A and B are shown apart, each in its own frame.
Chain A
Amino acid sequence: MSDQVKTEEKTLPRVKPATDIVESDEGFFIYMDMPGVAKENLVIDLNEDEIKVTGRTSYPMPDGEKLIHAEFANGEYYRGFTLSHVVDKSHIKATLKNGVLELHLPKAEKTTPRKIDIQMG
């Protein structure tokens, strides 16, 4: 059984999801088109500065249905990003809605420039 699952995993084509990276006042937003991916099949890994997104589609193929014309099939989405130091890693938020993954990466509070007092010896 597990062997079967493994071979099935291997045959799934890997696709890079189409991605937008947008900066606004609230921080950075990453939008990824991942149609057909349910919440349960989406994995987001954050390791130090690397963020990795993996998702798998699970389109059913009901019995008795004959495919006449096909332009998409089951696949695995995969994409990795390196985060900049400006991003506040502890407050990253992910939302999956209608097949679009939205990652909100807020900017870390800017270290305000300060004057250094000079002490006279």
Chain B
Amino acid sequence: MVIDFSPFFGPSSPFDRLFETLWTPLPISQRPYAYPPLNIAEDDERIIARCEIPGMEISDLELTLAESSLVIKGERKGAKGKYYRQERPTGFFQRVVNIHAPVDRDKVKATMKDGLLEVVIPKSESAKPKKIAIDIS
């Protein structure tokens, strides 16, 4: 569903991973970490992709809606100085969301708040569930 081209490495040793699964029983996917973390939700009207990208302006992100996928691209830059500890990832990142539904590409909206990117993709009329009245004669 989501292809990961992330340049970042997650917790690498098997022990790290074991502890991660022990301490955080999150109701989230068990696949190895990709950056940035992405949630995809859907209702009758639209598809919503949410992404945790702290420390970035929406103008620094490159959002592309291709034929059947949404691409989120960007680069995180680090501060200058002498590092005592570095845990926050830096560098280029990219995530691809495949969309298998006809969407209304002109009405796609993206917002950023407190480091959370929200991309709302409305489904086109033909993809919405419709009620059909059946006349019984």
Contacts and interface: CB of A to CB of B under 8 A. Distances in A.
Interface in B33-53: 33-34, 37-44, 48, 50, 52-53
A18 B84 contact: no
A20 B28 contact: no
A65 interface: yes
Interface stretch (B103-111, B112-120, B121-129): B112-120
A73 B28 contact: yes
Contacts of B53: 35, 99
B130 interface: no
Contacts, number: 121
A98 B57 contact: yes
A40 B2 CA distance: 34
B12 interface: no
Interface stretch (A22-30, A45-53, A85-93, A106-114): A22-30
Q: Which of B24, B56, B88, B114 has the most CB of A within 10 A?
A: B114
B82 to A, nearest CB: 4
B14 interface: no
Please report whether the interface of chain B is mostly helix, strand, loop or mixed according to DSSP. loop
A58 B27 CA distance: 16
B37 A71 contact: yes
Contact of A99 (B44, B54, B87): B54
Contacts of B79: 20, 22, 24, 29, 31
Q: Which of B79, B87, B112 has the most CB of A within 10 A?
A: B87
Interface in B59-113: 78-89, 112
Given A13-B24, A29-B81, A72-B28, A66 B114 contact: no
Interface string A44-87: 00000000000000010010111111111101000000000000
A18 to B, nearest CB: 4
B115 A100 contact: yes
A70 B88 contact: no
A21 B29 CA distance: 30
Interface of A: 13, 15, 18-24, 29, 31, 33-38, 59, 62, 64-73, 75, 97-100
Interface of B: 1-2, 24-29, 33-34, 37-44, 48, 50, 52-57, 78-89, 112, 114-116
What 4 pairs between A and B have smallest CB-CB spacing? A99-B115, A35-B115, A99-B54, A24-B81
